[in-house]
Amino acid sequence: MRPHWRQASPIVRRTIEQWLGSSNVPAEAWLNAANAAFSAGFDIDPPPVPTLQELDRLRAAGDTTGVARIYATRRVQLEAERHAQNYYTGLAGWRASKSTREAAT
């Protein structure tokens, strides 16, 4: 299992923290932070997906007007959250594999 990015060196941690706070779209900021963490060999927490969660809640309630409103006003956030979620899921095998440090022991 890969170590969490908070265990990284101060320079790597600072870079990831800067990426996490860098965008108005949290999922885009997460993608940049994830790239920095993964390239340094560290794991990161799952991406924030508040728009997808709200969309699921509206669908469950049967609120088609609310669903349409989200698609009309927050399409960029939706696409970024889906991309971040797919990216995180796609790297599950890599995250679960042994790190270089663990493989050496």
Q: Which of 16-30, 58-72, 83-97 has the highest mean pLDDT?
A: 58-72
Q: With b meaning 16 or more CB within 10 Å and e meaning fewer, what string describes 2-36?
A: beebeebeeebbebbeebbeeeebbbbbbbbbbeb
CA 69 – CA 67 distance, rounded (Å): 5
Mean pLDDT along residues 4-26: 92
pLDDT value at position 23?
83
CA distances (Å), 65 to each of 17, 56, 69, in order?
37, 13, 6
Q: For residue 101, what pLDDT band results from cuts at 50, 70 and 90? A: low
Would the pTM of this model clear 0.85, i.e. be above it? no
From the CB of residue 72, how many other CB atoms can be counted at a distance below 10 Å?
8
pLDDT value at position 52?
94
Q: Which residues pair with 43 in a beta bridge?
A: 4
